[in-house]
Amino acid sequence: MIVTLTLNPTVDTSTTIDRIAADHKLRCASPRYDAGGGGINVSKAIRRLDGESLALFTSGGAMGLMLQELVEKEGIEHQIIGIEGLTRENFIITETSTNHQFRFGMPGPTLTHAEAEACLAALENLPAKPDYIVASGSLPPGISEDFYAIVARQAKKLNARFILDTSGEPLRAAANEGVFLLKPNLGELSRMAGVETLEMSDVDDAAMEIINRGDCEVVVVSLGPGGAMLVTRDSYEHVHTPTVRKQSTVGAGDSMVGGMVYALSQGQSFSEMVRLGVACGTAATMNPGTELFKKPDVDRLLNWINNH
């Protein structure tokens, strides 16, 4: 059983325009609406791989109702944690003349202490014991920065593997508590290692240091178009990806996490896990707006990765 947790979900509204210009009324194409937020995107990725997960997420107001409808259309089993505030909406605009993408992210509603406790209670009272708990995305205002560390402790009590994809102090606090898998990018890994920048030749050593101090068992460093670096206590592997025509980066990291946790749930090795994750993340960049990936693209990319 895979459970995803999204504390700061969003309705992603995406559209296109020929050119963005200041002080002009800009007429956009018809918008597309997608359920978004880290954990929800992970659940969407798992579903597109024909897997199942339970998505836990907060929801409030009219936008929250719209979010619920969008999740239902994806065919994802879900559980709502009701809040008083209004679920946020993010805007993604692609300028077709340049293929530049502009992403406007809103901070989200402030959660009360009682609502934060309700999120933890939802994890404690799951209908079945989870094998994996995946937390992805930012923390909304009002939530303490050690929240994911508390979730890490809960995961240990449930004997579930906790996979975390976040940044900043919430990432460091959870790592200090100890998690199963971390997916930092190069900048986040540098900060965790206490240095300003890392050269590619230093990535595996920095990740190994994090593992050796007990922060996690597995590190997958996202390298964007450079693929990813898998590091475990015993080995490391750099998985490359082919060059593709990028249309959008929205949800690429979440797609990667979704591919990896799906692979693990199917009993695949760490090497197979990261290869599927890279294929899913890369495939997500090939589609416009907030569509995530299409499985035929994943299959084709995975075949390339496995043969190079």
Catalytic residues: 254
Residues 6+ apart with CB under 8 A from 43: 2, 4, 53, 54, 55, 71, 74, 76, 78, 258
DSSP 224: G
The whole-angstrom separation of Cα 21 and Cα 13 is 20
Return the closest-CA partner of residue 220 out of 185, 255, 251, 192.
Answer: 185
The whole-angstrom separation of Cα 209 and Cα 214 is 9
DSSP 222: E
Beta strand spans in the chain (E): 2-6, 10-17, 32-36, 54-59, 77-82, 88-95, 100-104, 132-136, 161-165, 179-182, 216-222, 228-232, 236-239
Tokens of 169: 């102090």
The whole-angstrom separation of Cα 148 and Cα 284 is 26
For the chain, the distance separating the N- and C-terminal CA atoms, rounded to the nearest angstrom, is 32
Amino acid at 198: L
The whole-angstrom separation of Cα 42 and Cα 36 is 9
- Does residue 243 sit in helix, strand or coil? coil
Contact, 282 vs 263, CB < 8 A? no
